[in-house]
Amino acid sequence: MAEAFIVAARRTAGGRRNGRLSGWHPVDLAARVLDTLIEDTRIDPAAVDDVIMGCVSQIGEQSTNVARNAVLASRLLPESVPGTSVDRQCGSSQQTLHFAAQAVMSGTMDCVIAAGIESMTRIPMFSPSELPRKAGLGEYTSADMRRKYGDVQFSQFIGAEMMAQKYGLSKRQLDEYALSSHRRAAAATRAGRFSREIIPVAVRRNDTAGDETASDEMHTADEGIRFDATLEAIAGVRPLQDGGLITAANASQICDGGSGVMLASERALKRFGLQPLARIHHMSVIGHDPVIMLEAPIPATELALRKAGMEIQDIDAFEVNEAFASVPLAWLKKTGADPARLNVNGGAIALGHPLGASGTKLMATLIHVLQQREGRYGLQTMCEGGGMANVTIIERL
């Protein structure tokens, strides 16, 4: 089977809700990511076979195939480049990477962009289910689903609490992990370790007419990092439910952002003189319990390593999405991975979790971490709504 290579990997810095990216229409921000990948590689834009884009809240400004709209908004990509949008919840753009790699490995395509976009300011989380429900268009759960699983609530927040309880995690452990995320992200930012992955974008302000105007101010650093974070402040945040362990401080931040990677075949490497950053070594995805929901990265990691013929100690760097602190902590406890190799530049608790953009965002970070640490193998996984998880293992080149 042919191999797939990552030749470019970039992301925007995360923007807080109503923050420095909130003036960007998500289509335009996604187009900025696509253009940057073309500029980085200097390939013929018409040679891109497809754009596959993850987005969770595909409604309003992110509806009607946001991937194709981003291509049409691009300064560089011609109309001949198609686009399609993917929803695998939080793993949406990690799945686009898998689809793109599979297209290249099949030999049917030579150059595919996998990307993600989410403006959680402009399209609030849960909009695709809440707005239709309020309009009388029904619930996303069916009678047969409820009959199968009983009178339960499919909720990531409940799942996060269940994870903490199942794996014996204390409130202090969750809060200490959250503090470490901010401290690692702050240290990485001060040291310039994100500079090669971040796409500088102008800060746009909406005027009273709703028009977007660019300013001379550039957004170049993740907006959610608490450089002065303390354990006392984190511990003082009220739990999301009475008697619970999960708080806004030990959970991922609402975030606006875009990200993308370009995948190429060996034939494309030669044609365009591209220097690969990494090779796709393994890809897998599983379904798991939709009630606890967030546990799937644990069996997914075990399955991926077994299929790849690897051990956990073979991996030099891990990116496990910090949807809630209970997720990476439970993952560490069960897999026995080295904590010093996990989310070394912080994670979504500090940097934000732009839903559909998080998959390729984490991949951009993972590639650059491997470069900085001169590691060989990296593994990425994340929990996903509905009880799923993707795993991607890459080899740095």
Is 111 tagged catalytic? no
Structural element, H or E, at residue 283: strand 278-287
Which neighbouring-strand residues pair with 11? 198, 259
Residue carrying structure tokens 């069960």: 334
Comparing C-alpha atoms, which of 366, 370, 392, 389 is closest to residue 4?
392
Is 55 tagged catalytic? no
Q: ∠53-54-58 over CA atoms, to 5°?
A: 105
Within 10 angstroms of residue 290's Cβ, the number of other Cβ atoms is 17
On whether the CB atoms of residues 324 and 163 are closer than 8 A, the answer is yes
| Cα dihedral sign, 131-87-146-323 | negative
Between the alpha carbon of residue 386 and those of residues 77, 87, 88, 99, 351, the distances in Å are 34, 12, 9, 20, 24
Task: Select which of 98, 182, 219, 353 is catalytic.
Answer: 353
On whether the CB atoms of residues 356 and 118 are closer than 8 A, the answer is yes
Quick one: residue 192, left, alpha or beta (phi over 0 = left, psi -120 to 50 = alpha)?
left
Distance CA 355, CA 339 (A): 24
Distance CA 66, CA 357 (A): 12
Residue carrying structure tokens 């007419």: 209
Which neighbouring-strand residues pair with 86? 54
- What 3-state class would DSSP assign to 178? helix
Q: In the structure encoding, which two tokens stand for residue 255, read together?
A: 């975030």
Task: Select which of 55, 111, 255, 383 is catalytic.
Answer: 383
Task: Select which of 90, 98, 219, 281 is catalytic.
Answer: 90
Residues catalogued as catalytic:
90, 353, 383
